[in-house]
A and B are shown apart, each in its own frame.
Chain A
Amino acid sequence: MAYSPIVMDHFKNPRNVGEILDADGLGEVGNPVCGDMMSVYIKVENNIIQDVKFKTFGCGAAIAVSSMITELAKGKTLEEAMQIKNSDVAKALGGLPPNKLHCSNLGADALHSAIKNYLDRKAGKIVPQEEGEEHHPEKGGACYCPYCEKQVVEESPFCIFCGKEMPHDHDH
């Protein structure tokens, strides 16, 4: 597992946990089927993220990522915040174990989704509450090699048709 000390610190003492009742933007991504789910609330003034809070259902990495993304976003302009990439979050946390990198996607996605929600509201668009984003659509429940697209057995170490190593995917 081996989480970095920064990850453990943010997991054990998460910053900015909670909700903002009169939030200007709300972003929700993930779903419990995939193992994690995150809600980000932002308060915007003069194009700057004045306050940001989160709620997360997820593993240690997901909670640490949520905490870190709120720290990175606070005080930034919306443009700057939109530039925060998933890799920035992982880097700020001192790295994540390879099979936990998808958790860092959740953080940036949730923040960006909250900003878009704010911009849409400002533009007067009525935004329906989005369903949690499906990270891993299934093709009829079977697994397919991403290189040669032949159907492979679950959890194959490599594709027996083309020989390519199978990436360590989240959930097929």
Chain B
Amino acid sequence: MGFIYLDHQSGTPLHPKVQEAMIQHIQTIFGNPSSDHQVGQPAAVVLEKARAQTAALINANPPEIVFTSGGTEANNQAIKGVAIGLREKGRHIITSNIEHKSVLNSLRTLRLLDYRVTSLDVDQYGLVDPGAVEKAITPETILISIMLANNEIGTIEPIAKIAEIAKKHKIVMHTDAVAATGNIPVDVQELGVNLLSLAANQFYGPSGVGALYIRKGTPVWPLLDGGTQENKRRAGTENLIGIVGLGQAAELAKEAIPARQARLRALKERLEQGIKARIPEIHINGHPTLNLPHLLSVSVEYIEGESLMLMLDDEGIVVATRSACASGSLRASHVLIGTGMDFATAQGTLVFTLGEENTDAEIDRVLEVMPGIVQTLRDMSPLYKKSGH
């Protein structure tokens, strides 16, 4: 390919079988699943097949799957949908400080509409304390939204425990499982959640399509108003090409996860140990054991992440950074700051997310190139000198 792709979280390449399914769909079916005629009905069949495939990935019943335009819409739908659906019951929502922006900014909007939000601190590993969740509950609380795995540091949260607490207090429980689904086994029955968000571009499906799992009986008001598609929960003619891709990717992921997990964890271990051995003064972020198998977050002292990312890019190594300068908003990562990291160190953070096509040789290439780049940037940095080097 000419480059080493280690940013799977921004979007995985399409699996050849997903590609094939999507192309076959485009070539054979154009009907609208809502049309009860001979052109529409084959489309409805395809839609329901994809729903069953997606449901199987997370051990849900097919009618509990609502297709969305991706993880962001699923999170918006879950949070705003419950807020509207339960507005007569209460207006208090509990979340954590390290959620994805689609969760945090959905809650921003709800604050404008006079909902109250309690955002919980996490520990140094990014873990939410279930005890703190229980303490934050008030008679007004209608929703708890905590992510299954963090997309920046990879920490896996104790969702089953938190969901148990939510159930005890009869509060709706949502989990943003976008970073987790397709990378680790996700089972909505084991987790005990009412709502769960996922996105196809995290497991070799297309971008722009995802799903929200809505446990039967959960009071979710639609975000998009219109027709009766998706059992009246998401209006608008379906993105069937994308949905076919999601369904196929979900089916493949279900089979692939056990072997993929083990292989990616070994690759990540090689990368982590290699970086630790070759580059002094770095931090590995996230929980040491409760973490995603394919995500490694590294903060490099004294340098800024975007320059590091650009120099690696120039060497054909594609990674993500969480520095303020690289984000559209020019803010230091709220996740890293949430774990108690200082601003300067947070600026030098790279996130490697590994994928199926990565090899040992590619990891070794990173380990060969990265120390020199880090040293070049450190030699350029006034902070490096000031700290006594």
Interchain CB contact (< 8 A) of B324 among A35, A153, A154: A35
- Closest residue of chain B to A14 (Cβ to Cβ) is B380
- Does the CB pair A57–B302 fall under 8 Å? yes
CA distance A170 to B331 in the complex (A): 7
Size band of the A side of the interface?
35 or more
> Does A28 interact with chain B (Cβ within 8 Å)?
yes
Chain B residue numbers with a CB within 8 Å of A170 are: 330
Identify 23 residue pairs between A and B in the complex whose beta-carbon atoms are under 8 Å apart, listed by A's number: A11-B307, A12-B314, A14-B380, A19-B385, A32-B344, A32-B383, A35-B323, A35-B325, A35-B330, A38-B382, A55-B385, A56-B381, A58-B304, A58-B307, A58-B325, A60-B306, A62-B307, A99-B330, A153-B108, A153-B112, A155-B105, A168-B329, A168-B330
- Give residues in B with beta carbon < 8 Å to A: 105, 108, 111-112, 302-304, 306-307, 310-311, 314, 323-326, 328-332, 343-344, 347, 379-383, 385
Q: Which of A11, A55, A172 counts the most B-chain CB atoms under 10 A from its CB?
A: A55
Chain A residue numbers with a CB within 8 Å of B306 are: 59-60
- Does the CB pair A62–B304 fall under 8 Å? yes
- Does the CB pair A55–B347 fall under 8 Å? no
CA distance A99 to B331 in the complex (A): 11
- Closest residue of chain B to A28 (Cβ to Cβ) is B382
- Does the CB pair A171–B303 fall under 8 Å? no
Interchain CB contact (< 8 A) of A39 among B303, B304, B382: B382
- Does the CB pair B382–A36 fall under 8 Å? no
- Closest residue of chain A to B111 (Cβ to Cβ) is A153
Chain B residue numbers with a CB within 8 Å of A14 are: 380
Interface string of A99-126 (1 = CB under 8 A from B): 1101100000000000000000000000
CA distance A57 to B343 in the complex (A): 13
- Closest residue of chain B to A170 (Cβ to Cβ) is B330
- Does the CB pair A35–B381 fall under 8 Å? no
CA distance A168 to B382 in the complex (A): 27
Sorted nearest first, the 4 A-B pairs with minimum C-beta distance are: A59-B325, A32-B344, A59-B306, A55-B382
> Does A142 interact with chain B (Cβ within 8 Å)?
no
| Besides the known contacts A55-B380, A153-B111, 14 further A-B residue pairs in the complex with CB atoms under 8 A apart | A12-B314, A17-B379, A28-B382, A32-B383, A35-B304, A55-B385, A57-B302, A58-B307, A59-B306, A62-B307, A63-B307, A103-B325, A168-B330, A170-B330
- Does the CB pair A17–B382 fall under 8 Å? no
Shortest A55–chain B CB gap in Å is 4
Shortest A1–chain B CB gap in Å is 8
CA distance A39 to B382 in the complex (A): 7
Interchain CB contact (< 8 A) of A171 among B111, B324, B382, B385: B324
Chain B residue numbers with a CB within 8 Å of A168 are: 329-330
> Does A92 interact with chain B (Cβ within 8 Å)?
no
> Does A33 interact with chain B (Cβ within 8 Å)?
yes
CA distance A124 to B383 in the complex (A): 29
CA distance A32 to B386 in the complex (A): 13
- Closest residue of chain A to B344 (Cβ to Cβ) is A32
A1-35 contacts to B (CB < 8 Å): 1, 11-12, 14, 17, 19, 28, 32-35
- Closest residue of chain B to A100 (Cβ to Cβ) is B325
